[in-house]
Amino acid sequence: METVTSESRHLSAHIDRSAQDVYDYASDPSHLPEWAPGLGSSIELIDGQWIMESPMGRIVVAFAPRNEFGVLDHHVTLASGETFYNPMRVTTDGAGCEIVFSLRRQAAMSDEAFERDANAVLSDLVRLKRKMGGPADEAPRV
Domain of residue 50 covers 8-131
- Residue 140, domain member (yes or no): no
- Residue 142, domain member (yes or no): no
- Residue 21, domain member (yes or no): yes
pLDDT tens, the chain, 142 aa long: 444 457 899 999 999 999 999 999 999 999 999 999 988 889 999 999 999 999 889 999 999 999 999 999 999 999 999 999 999 999 999 989 999 999 999 888 899 999 999 999 999 999 999 999 865 555 555 5
The answer to whether the CB of 130 falls within 8 A of the CB of 122 is no
- For the chain, the domain total comes to 1
The answer to whether the CB of 22 falls within 8 A of the CB of 41 is no
CA distance 103 to 96: 23
CATH code of the domain containing 46: 3.30.530.20
Query: What is the 3-state composition of the chain as percent helix, strand, coil, each rounded to the nearest 5?
Result: 25, 35, 40
Give whole-number Cα distances, 77 to 61, 89, 126, 136, in Å. Answer: 7, 20, 24, 30
Supply the pLDDT for residue 138. Answer: 52
Supply the pLDDT for residue 121. Answer: 94
Supply the pLDDT for residue 3. Answer: 46
